[in-house]
Amino acid sequence: MNNSTLHKVSFLKVLLNTASILKNPLPFHHANFTKYGNSFSISLGKGNPIIFSRDPVLAKHILQKNNKNYIKSELQTHYLAKYIGNGLLTANGNYWLQQRRLIQPAFHKKKLESLMGIMFSEIKLQLQEISGNKTLDVFPIMNDLAFNVVAKSLFSYIDKENKIHRLQEITEGIQEMLIKELRQPFKKWWYKLNGSLQRAKQLSVEARVILLEIIQERKDSNSTPDDLLQMLLDSRYEDGSAMTNKQLIDEILILFIAGHETTSNALTFSLQLVAQDATIQKKIREEARLFDPNDILSSIQNLTYTKQCIEETLRLYPPAYFSDRLSLEDDECNGVKIPKNTQVLLSYYEMHRHQDYWSNPEVFDPNRFQDDNKKEYSASYFPFGAGPRMCIGNNFAMYEMMLTLAEVIKNYELESLSKIEINPLITLKPKSAIIKFKKL
């Protein structure tokens, strides 16, 4: 099956733009989408060209309607997996399905309800970093908050020896190397020669040692808290066997990284956006002041405008800003032919800002997510992906972000002092996010 109607961007054009692509590939993608339409392909010199698409119809087809014809590509099953293991995010096929079924119950809404008290207490504790009137870069605070919420809520872990902090540092180091590998695969020889690859692999080993210590501490203790770690330790496969330490580490490492990073990114962008508008802050504050910490479950349902602000943040700055799949057989959708063994990269960032799907797409407008409007936009909105591989922790993340945003705005008036800038790594990260906090 050929794809003669799809414009091919040459490998030479990619090489000529290497420096800018390594720094930020999104302008390069946008320029090609603007010039060639909602789908184009890029040749990397060998194998099938990679198809890039911002077509939501194609995205739904690949992720939902014909998902069985698509698997995670080498970006995740090889490059990412060699650093963070073979778990929910990186596995394919029957093994992925087996792990998903094992872990899914921990993220059921009923289960999460029991964690909300722990989550809210940890959020309040971490926000003590903001005290009085201060001007701060909020990303480090949100990063610490999200990491500690995961550690405490899902693993009941108290970081007495700064192990969690070290995991954060390791995550950053691995990401930097991985991005270089993905965006400049032709320089792999150099990364081997200068020792970069080896240093990144050593960081991965260190992370696994830390997590093994956390697992062993739990096994050696007499406590059996009702958390995700205990559920993983107690879970059994159909043959009665338990997860090995390697499997446990794979899943926990992925949950730590994915569970904190996307949330800290989104919270930072959210605070930057609401800091630009006093009227929006006032609406959030009105909801937040009615919040009852003794009845978190009922109260969180009333944070409707706060939720809209988070949803609009995830539209403009989706932490998981792209997804990739590999076709198992020839396929076709919406005029795009996808040959067997073709990698398809779906750009949620582009879909969420496309003027054909959104009115005034560059404007931060939480009202577009009012119930009456949601149906209009739902077909073009992928904040947590879609289909059977939709993010397992989407409800956990939404609860955490809503509680955090409401708690900050209830106590502070914000003023943004820096332009919003992005740093597209494995997730879409913010750069400096300087905000002035005025205590109310």
Summarised one tens digit per residue, pLDDT across range 229-285 is: 888 888 888 888 999 999 999 988 888 877 788 999 999 999 999 999 999 999 999
Q: Which two tokens stand for residue 176?
A: 């930097």
Residues 6 or more apart from 323 whose CB is under 8 A from it?
59, 63, 345, 346, 348, 382, 385
Residue-level pLDDT at 231:
85
Q: Domains in the chain, ordered, with CATH?
A: 8-439 (1.10.630.10)
Whether 361 has a pLDDT exceeding 90, the answer reads yes
Of 87, 367, 117, 419, whose CA–CA distance to 255 is shortest? Answer: 87
- pTM of the entire predicted model: 0.91
Question: What are 45-93's pLDDT values in tens digits?
Answer: 777 899 999 999 999 999 999 999 999 988 788 878 888 889 888 899 9
CA distances from 71 to 63, 79, 323, 347 (A): 10, 15, 11, 17
Whether 206 has a pLDDT exceeding 60, the answer reads yes
Residue-level pLDDT at 162:
81
- Residue spans of beta strands (DSSP E) within 283-387: 322-327, 331-333, 336-338, 343-347
Residue-level pLDDT at 253:
86
Question: What are 154-205's pLDDT values in tens digits?
Answer: 888 877 778 877 887 888 788 788 878 877 777 888 888 888 889 988 998 9
Alpha-carbon torsion (421, 346, 12, 177), positive or negative = positive
Q: Report how far residue 407's alpha carbon sits from residue 108's, in angstroms, rounded to the nearest whole number.
A: 24
